[in-house]
């Protein structure tokens, strides 16, 4: 049977592009997200690939466990887990930050990754095989002004990835991280709470990464031979030198 990939945050952006890329590579798919109508639209594009949809919020542990426990037999033994779901909310100095924004970022970016991994891992450890890719960010390695809790959450992802790789080594499970720089997705619209004009300015004057660029890297990583683990990738647009250093025309 062909390999099965489980992708969180599959309804848009990097998750959606990764679903399309892995379908082309011959994977069966479990697509998870909060927006059912978008998942259904994606599934229609992937009608040639065995696909199962799960609608849940990764921040809700009970919902995560119920959804994953509901998988039919043919979709239970996940070979590749892409922990892509996450968010950024607000851009303010720490003394002016919104505690609800903090909760949303920590719950989604850190605890959500843990909840999904914890629910998927028993099938991997039982078979002593598997591959987990966590989507981090350059923000996890370079702090920037007003990025405080978002940067902290992605630094946690980086640390968790390293620890997971050690913990799962006895089970031959590969664990890796992809850290994109500026990618034009709905990221900035969410961060700026629907302010599309402000979000658009983030990507003005240079060519940012596209979701497909990140998906191409993920596809490469998950199609390496079993003895190869591409453990960390920092992926930047050519115009970006650091987290907040971008050459704009």
Is the pTM higher than 0.85?
Answer: yes
Phi-psi group of 90: left, alpha or beta (phi > 0 → left; psi -120 to 50 → alpha; rest → beta)? left
Provide mean pLDDT across the span 46-54.
96
pLDDT for 191 equals 83
pLDDT of residue 192: 79
Per the annotation, the verdict on 203 as an active-site residue is no
Domain edges within the chain: 4-246
Nearest-CA neighbor of 175 among 186, 187, 192, 163? 163
Alpha helices in the chain (DSSP H): 13-24, 36-45, 61-69, 99-106, 112-127, 148-167, 187-191, 196-201, 211-222
CB 181 within 8 A of CB 236: yes
Compute φ and ψ for 217, nearest 5 degrees.
-65, -45
Residue with tokens 């390293």: 162
Lowest mean pLDDT among 28-37, 114-123, 179-188: 179-188
Diameter of the chain measured on Cα atoms: 53
pLDDT at 78: 98
Q: 30-60 burial by CB neighbour count: b if 16+ within 10 A, else e? A: bbbbbeeebbeebbeebeebebbbbbbbbbb
Which residues is 183 bridged to in the sheet?
209
Q: Which residue has the higher pLDDT, 69 or 200?
A: 69
Under the banding of pLDDT at 50, 70 and 90, the label for residue 178 is very high
Distance CA 17, CA 19 (A): 5
Tell me the torsion sign for CA atoms 100, 15, 172, 175. Answer: negative
Does residue 159 have a pLDDT over 90?
Answer: yes
Which tokens sit at 139? Answer: 């923000």
55-113 tens-digit pLDDT: 999 999 999 999 999 999 999 999 999 999 999 999 999 999 999 999 999 999 999 99
Show the tokens assigned to 132.
């987990």
Query: What confidence tier does 190 reach under pLDDT thresholds 50, 70, 90?
Result: confident
- CATH architecture of the domain with range 4-246: 3-Layer(aba) Sandwich (3.40)
Catalytic residue among 115, 141, 150, 203: 150
């Amino acid at each position: 049977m062909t390999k099965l990939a489980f992708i969180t945050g599959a309804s848009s952006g990097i998750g959606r592009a990764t679903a399309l890329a892995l379908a082309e590579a011959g994977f069966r798919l479990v697509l998870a997200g909060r927006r059912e109508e978008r998942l259904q639209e994606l599934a229609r594009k992937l009608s040639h690939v065995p696909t199962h949809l799960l609608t849940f919020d990764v921040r809700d542990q009970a919902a995560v466990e119920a959804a994953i426990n509901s998988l039919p037999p043919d979709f239970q033994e996940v070979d590749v887990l892409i922990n892509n779901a996450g968010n950024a909310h607000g851009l303010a100095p720490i003394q002016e930050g919104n505690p609800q924004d903090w909760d949303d970022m920590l719950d989604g970016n850190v605890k959500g990754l843990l909840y999904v991994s914890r629910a998927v891992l028993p099938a991997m450890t039982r078979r002593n095989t598997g591959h987990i890719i966590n989507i981090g960010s350059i923000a996890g390695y370079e702090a920037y002004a007003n990025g405080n809790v978002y940067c902290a959450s992605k630094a946690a992802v980086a640390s968790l990835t390293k620890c997971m790789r050690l913990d799962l080594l006895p089970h031959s499970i590969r664990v890796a991280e992809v850290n994109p720089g500026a990618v034009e997705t709905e990221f900035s619209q969410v961060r700026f709470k629907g302010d599309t004009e402000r979000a658009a300015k983030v990507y003005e004057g240079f060519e940012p990464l596209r979701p497909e660029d990140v998906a191409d890297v993920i596809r490469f990583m998950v199609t390496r031979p079993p003895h190869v683990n591409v453990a960390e990738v920092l992926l930047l647009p050519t115009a970006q030198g650091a987290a907040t250093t971008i050459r704009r025309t």
